Structure 1
Amino acid sequence: MSQFRNPILPAGADPWIIKHEDGHYYMTVTLRNHIALWRSRTMTGLAAEKPTIIWNPAPSGPYSYNLWAPELHYIEGQWYIYYTANDGGGDDTRRICVLQLLGDDPLSGEWIFKGAINTEHPGLDGTVLPHKGELYFFYSGYGYFPDYGSAIYAARMVNPWTLTGPNVLITAPTETWEKQGGMAINEGPVFLRRNGTIYLIFSASATWSDDYCLGMAMISESDDLLKASAWVKHEGPVFAKNPEQGVYAPGHNSFTISPDGTEDWIVYHAYPYSEAEQKRSDGSPRSMRIQRFGWTEEGAPDFGVPLSTETSIPAPSGEC
């Protein structure tokens, strides 16, 4: 059986990987001043592929700076990219923008700017959840707390670039484990579904803190996704640092499956050293990693612990 070692990319913050029906994996990460896509038949082969730059913002303007956390989505037969950008100023100018592909090939087709999502709050990390024939938008919005930080809001969409109705607060950083590093943070929402339950996985605490981690909230598929009280937050993080193996601040993840569809994989970024060893607010690189995860007897995701970059990991099932 072939094996690999993390990281997949030595510098790859906010990684997003999806497996499309065309049999390819598509990957994107935060590059700050442009957006690029990688494409490969295998997960572990993504880093060996040359990235294609698909979007350069205008030289200046409200959405020209700090392009963060792009996500590639295939919605109702069309490709979209959601990403965060601002005018170079503070968090109050940060918005989630949308690109739409004209054509079928994300690497060679023309991407057009659809605009900034009409969220009630400035924010980042927008994602789309299709559910029962409707689209729901989840994002991390600023401006709610006595502690400076962000919370996760949700709203219904009338189309992939427009919200309608109120932005409902779904989860807020109220616990100590969500407030490490000097900020109270819930961000990076992403979803799993299993046995009639939707699992919202989010990142908590400041990204430069050793204790940046993943939290989880859940709701029955039969409930109203915009009924805040229907969401139940798990007590404590579900994926956190592993100092014994030299892994710190694991978070801002996505999910995908193995080539043969039999395995679930988590994609995330992490640091190979503690905050005490190197100050992280300077933008030092976070490496992009992948590993397989399982499920508990009760049906909830079980992510285990982040593995060392010295650990050999069996390649995803179906890779050749």
Structure 2
Amino acid sequence: MDKTNYRQTEYNKPFIIQRADPYVYRHSDGTYWFTASVPEYDRIVLRKSNTVDGLAQAEEVTIWRKHENGITSVHIWAPEIHYVDNKWFIYFAGGDIEDIWAIRPYVLMCEGDDPLKDPWKEMGMLKRKDAFSFQDFSLDMTVFENMGQWYCVWAEKVSVGKKISNLYIARMDSPTSLATEQVLLTSPDYDWERVDFWVNEGPAVVHHDGKIYLTYSASATGECYCMGMLSIEETEDLLNPRAWKKERYPVLKTDAERGIYGPGHNSFVKSEDGKEDIMIYHARPYDEIIGDPLYDPNRHAYRMRIKWNEQGRPVFDYCNNY
């Protein structure tokens, strides 16, 4: 199958080709920053633009490359760029060439004004508060602020019987360290979270009208990959898992009619006028994958406008197009 010739409509045009796990951050000066996993899993790239549209054609700069051996020498995954305490930080996952699935969360820091030109410093693995976080396959870390506090959510595999990937949350005391022990936020409870692998991963946060909505991805990375959602009032205790509401069914899944397969691992960003929420996510334009889906390069970044219904809940609809 020629994987470059696929049906395109106004609803399913890729935004940025071959960039999975896309993350877009809008800085206080209105500048947009884009990063994502590259198919080679060997480096971290950045793009900059004054508009969301402009990211598609913006020059891409490699700001860091994997090590030749040891930690962060293979499987460089899902970078996110954030600006905290007047510094730039990139959170990403990486493995060890001697143990390629020893995936752990790491941090880069840039103290300069220009993340494309100024140097990045390796800060090592995120510092934990307990003795059990990041002991196994840990990835897809995101951070967010609420009520003056910073929080971290990530995916980590555990094994009590079958090995599964859960989402955990902790409060942070600095951009490079956690202040609390991990709290189990969600496990793959439902059938649509357990296709091929039992997975919750790829968390992303959007605030709206006093509530926090946290989307995440579930199941294996092929056609079955889909998005679920949790929600909570901003005034609740975010470290109380019972305060979060989990949706029974996925909020976004494969739409073969529109040629979008395995949507997931998204981020949210505001439009230029600040009035709209835009979701950036990845998907494939086909379902005929040869070999391991993880190494198929054609997960592209797509865009979707998020509409809000009368109840103030997000509506994920492929027809909310550009």
| Same fold? TM cut 0.5 | yes
Deviates most, 142-151 or 281-290? 142-151
Per-residue CA distance 1:231-276 (angstroms, 9 max, x = gap): 110111001111111111000000112212222111011011124x
Deviation at 1:24, TM superposition (A): 1.7
Deviation at 1:282, TM superposition (A): 5.6
What corresponds to 1:236 in structure 2? 249
Per-residue CA distance 1:2-29 (angstroms, 9 max, x = gap): x897212220110111221222211011
Task: Give the alignment of 1:41-60 within 5 angstroms.
Answer: 41-60=50-69
Per-residue CA distance 1:102-149 (angstroms, 9 max, x = gap): 211111111101110135133001111212222111100111453333
Q: Specify which of 202, 216, 221 is matched with residue 202 of structure 1.
A: 216
Give distance in 1, aligned partners of 2:283 and 2:78: 15
SS at structure 2 position matched to 1:244: helix
Structure 2: unaligned runs, 5 residues or longer: 1-9
RMSD over aligned CA atoms reads 1.9
Instruction: Check if 1:8 corresponds to 2:15.
Output: yes
Deviation at 1:305, TM superposition (A): 3.2
SS at structure 1 position matched to 2:110: strand
Per-residue CA distance 1:146-186 (angstroms, 9 max, x = gap): 33330100112121111133210001101101011x10000
Count of aligned residue pairs for this structure pair: 304
- When residues 145 and 89 of structure 1 are mapped into structure 2, their CA distance, relative to the original with a 3 A threshold, is farther
Give distance in 1, aligned partners of 2:291 and 2:16: 21
Q: Read off the aligned partner of 2:267 and give its amino acid letter.
A: S
SS at structure 2 position matched to 1:229: helix
Q: Specify which of 258, 261, 267 is matched with residue 280 of structure 2.
A: 267
What corresponds to 1:40 in structure 2? 49
Asked if the contact 1:267–1:290 (Cα under 8 Å) also holds between the matched residues in 2, the reply is: yes
Instruction: Check if 1:213 corresponds to 2:226.
Output: yes
TM (norm. structure 1) is 0.89
What corresponds to 1:63 in structure 2? 72
How many percent identity over aligned positions?
Answer: 37
Instruction: Check if 1:257 corresponds to 2:270.
Output: yes
Structure 1: unaligned runs, 5 residues or longer: 308-312, 315-320
What corresponds to 1:140 in structure 2? 155
Q: Specify which of 169, 187, 198 is matched with residue 201 of structure 2.
A: 187
Deviation at 1:306, TM superposition (A): 7.0
Q: Specify which of 87, 111, 136 is matched with residue 120 of structure 2.
A: 111
Give distance in 2, aligned partners of 1:219 and 1:91: 36
Q: Read off the aligned partner of 2:199 and give its amino acid letter.
A: I
- When residues 90 and 175 of structure 1 are mapped into structure 2, their CA distance, relative to the original with a 3 A threshold, is farther
Give distance in 1, aligned partners of 2:167 and 2:250: 16
Per-residue CA distance 1:192-242 (angstroms, 9 max, x = gap): 11122111110111112x121110011111111111111110111001111
- When residues 297 and 282 of structure 1 are mapped into structure 2, their CA distance, relative to the original with a 3 A threshold, is closer
- When residues 232 and 213 of structure 1 are mapped into structure 2, their CA distance, relative to the original with a 3 A threshold, is same
Give distance in 1, aligned partners of 2:98 and 2:191: 29
TM (norm. structure 2) is 0.89
SS at structure 1 position matched to 2:229: strand
- When residues 91 and 124 of structure 1 are mapped into structure 2, their CA distance, relative to the original with a 3 A threshold, is farther
Instruction: Check if 1:24 corresponds to 2:31.
Output: yes
Q: Read off the aligned partner of 2:53 and give its amino acid letter.
A: T
Give distance in 2, aligned partners of 1:75 and 1:246: 38
Q: Specify which of 84, 97, 114 is matched with residue 75 of structure 1.
A: 84
Asked if the contact 1:98–1:115 (Cα under 8 Å) also holds between the matched residues in 2, the reply is: yes
Give distance in 2, aligned partners of 1:49 and 1:81: 19
Give distance in 1, aligned partners of 2:160 and 2:270: 36
Asked if the contact 2:11–2:258 (Cα under 8 Å) also holds between the matched residues in 1, the reply is: no
Instruction: Check if 1:281 corresponds to 2:293.
Output: yes
Deviation at 1:97, TM superposition (A): 0.4
